[in-house]
Amino acid sequence: MCGIVGYIGTQQAAPLLLEGLTRLEHRGYDSAGVAVLGGSGLKVAKRAGRVRDLADGLPKRFGGKIGIGHTRWATHGPANDVNAHPHTDELSRVAVVHNGIIDNAAALRAELADDGLVLTSDTDTEVLAHLVARSSAKTLEQRIAEALGRVEGTYGIAVAHADFPDRLVVARNGSPLIIGVGDHEMHVASDLAALVRYTTTVAHLDDGEMATITAAGFSTYRIEATGLAATDRRAKEVDIDPEAYDAGEHDSFMHKELLEQPARAEAVLRGRLDERFGTGHLGGLNLDARELRAFRRVKVLGCGSAYYVGQMGASLLEELARIPADAEAASEFRYRNPIVEPDTLYVAVSQSGETIDTLLAVQEVQRKGGRVIGLVNVVGSAIARQVDGGIYLHSGPEVAVASTKALTNMFLAFGMLAVQLGRVRDLSIADGKRLITGLTRIPEQIDQVLATEADLALVAKRLAEAESLFFVGRVRGFPVAREGAQKFKEITYRHAEAYQTSELKHGPLALISPEVPTVAIVPDDELVERNVAALHEIAARGGPLVVVTHDSVDLGDLESLVVGRIDVPRNERELDPILLTIPLQVLAYHAALELGHDIDKPRNLAKSVTVE
């Protein structure tokens, strides 16, 4: 979480830092701050609230051609001016911005306090500024390495020091940092979004790596117990359109990204479907047919929406490849001392490729000899570089906190993986061709769902009135319900709970009332009659019903009791879950709009979760 920017060059730093922070605000928006280094030394300005609040209060004379900035998602201490980054030492010679969590911060703070230092903030980050300032090493790099040697935890840091006015120093361990190469200037950021306006030539730091950045270029080092060892980090061009980071005519990034889904779905499928043999063509897996066939189980690891789409994917894999498959929250995986088997294929799912819980789970699997592939959207991200192979999602930049187009492409990636794995096992060529045809139809069918946005907005207005909601579904429909509840919670701040439809009568039915709507996922499948019967139980207790279904489903006398019926196009039964998910995204968006919320920046959340 949180966002870091840095600049060194020939221009005034402050405007560039503020622009970069605005583009990173989806990574944290509790507070923001900047520090610039000029002829009169180090100047710091920081403020609770949004970046615009910081910009409005910035002093007129705030000059300097070197600077760092930060937009915060609070971990240690509340969101206020004092806890905002950058943090400085007693003499304001050192300024530090930091993403991550220092696990032994309390012990370090106590040690500094025992030495007579009065700390001014509640943060873990402040100790870094004091440790760097108190080092007597000759170079700034050595001082920072010495300070980081005292630290336990994760960090992405950028440091400016008044005694070293020709450089910035950055370091990474578990939290992303990217160096951008310009013309006689250099940039730093925790996300490409802050860089693409100025350069598309970038270098990603690895964990345990430090970089010295001057206006002329950069040098990188590995932090080792014996000192700093030079590394040969090279900058590379990234293929990205700066306009992709602009909302354009849309009132929010989420709305823009909702409507981009048909085109992005085509992008992830392009060149990866073998219609002749009814299979997927996923060369990035780095697995041949013999290796694929040797796996006896699949374990999917993800967090939040990636976990829920992982459940959809596990169902696909089990159904099509006839191989045991399940999904697990990556945040819990390594803490239960998991059994990692050599014949299990592990699949890590992350839009950002920087989700720390998922990255740590990947590393745990690899430490125990397991094979991990990734479903990742961001090229060059930590998970993308860590895994043994994978499928890039080609969703384009996703800025809104609530995932839409990346989630859709995760499902399609699972669809292709399930078909390819199935075809080396027991899936017939006829079924393979059937599913490949189904996958090719999905972009157009998503477009058909989005064309009903006005009707969905009316249903969403009704749901926005409720303080609490249920989302229910069975088998393939249950992860759809979980993802629908997640979207509603994220951006409407309404309580939304997902249950298997069959589990309602085992407790939750006690909460059904006219004030608690239920959004039911009812595909036209082998369970349609049982689903409709369960909806009668809800209606009998006065619970308002919104049914997401297919036009072929006959609700019978229940039809008159439904406050909203949403029909989506039918595909193959195995692929229907993603089409049933799209209207839930639109419902959440319009309900949040009706409630007047900041849709792209929901309270207490941030886009990239880089802390445990």
Active site residues: 2, 607
Name residues whose C-beta falls within 8 Å of residue 147's C-beta, 6 or more positions apart in sequence.
128, 131, 132, 135
CA distance linking residue 448 with residue 441, whole number of Å: 11
Give Cα 482 distance to the centre of its chain. 17
CA distance linking residue 356 with residue 508, whole number of Å: 34
Name residues whose C-beta falls within 8 Å of residue 70's C-beta, 6 or more positions apart in sequence.
2, 3, 4, 5, 21, 32, 33, 34, 84, 85, 86, 97, 98
**DSSP code, position 612:** -
Q: 209, 219 in Cβ contact below 8 A?
A: no
Phi and psi torsions of 397, nearest 5°: -60, 135
CA distance linking residue 481 with residue 165, whole number of Å: 55
Q: What is the DSSP string of 44-95?
A: EEEEES-HHHHHHT--S----SEEEEEEE--SSS-SSTTTSSPEE-TTS-EE
Edge-to-edge strand order for the sheet containing 325-329?
325-329, 297-302, 344-350, 371-376, 389-392
CA distance linking residue 192 with residue 195, whole number of Å: 5
Instruction: Name beta bridge partners: 211.
Output: 170, 220
Instruction: Name beta bridge partners: 350.
Output: 376
**DSSP code, position 469:** E
485: how many CB neighbours lie within 10 A of its CB? 24
Q: What is the DSSP string of 281-318?
A: --GGG---HHHHHH--EEEEEE-THHHHHHHHHHHHHH
Structure tokens at 295: 């796996």
CA distance linking residue 455 with residue 587, whole number of Å: 10
Instruction: Name beta bridge partners: 416.
Output: none
CA-CA-CA-CA torsion for 484, 380, 195, 44, nearest 10 degrees?
Answer: 90
CA distance linking residue 202 with residue 187, whole number of Å: 9
